[in-house]
Amino acid sequence: MTGRLKLTLADYLNLLRQTVHRKPSFQTASIPLPLLRPMLPLANLLSDGFLSPDSITLLQQGSCADTAAFAALLEREPLGAGEFYRLD
């Protein structure tokens, strides 16, 4: 997924929770990577690949998608996560 803003997954989910579901922010807790790694095979299965060793590696590297191709498809710059829900 790509857009105008760079957010952590927790920030993105919190933003969706507030805008789409109109609920208050939730609290998050960081899990140290050495504790998370042994759980990744199970997390990979339960999340259908969303949380996998590869996704953690990408996050550690700070990988972010380039928005140029998406902007060309839209013929405009993509909106930020807080903006796309408020469109009329």
| pLDDT tens track for 9-30 | 888 889 888 888 889 988 888 8
Torsions phi, psi of 47, nearest 5? -100, 10
**Segments making up each domain of the chain, as ranges:** 9-84
Query: For 44-60, how does the pLDDT look when each residue is reduced to its tens digit (9 = 90+)?
Result: 999 998 889 998 898 88
Q: How far apart are CA 88 and CA 85, in angstroms?
A: 9
Position 75 scores a pLDDT of 95
Three-state DSSP at 83 gives: helix
State yes or no: pLDDT of 38 exceeds 90: yes
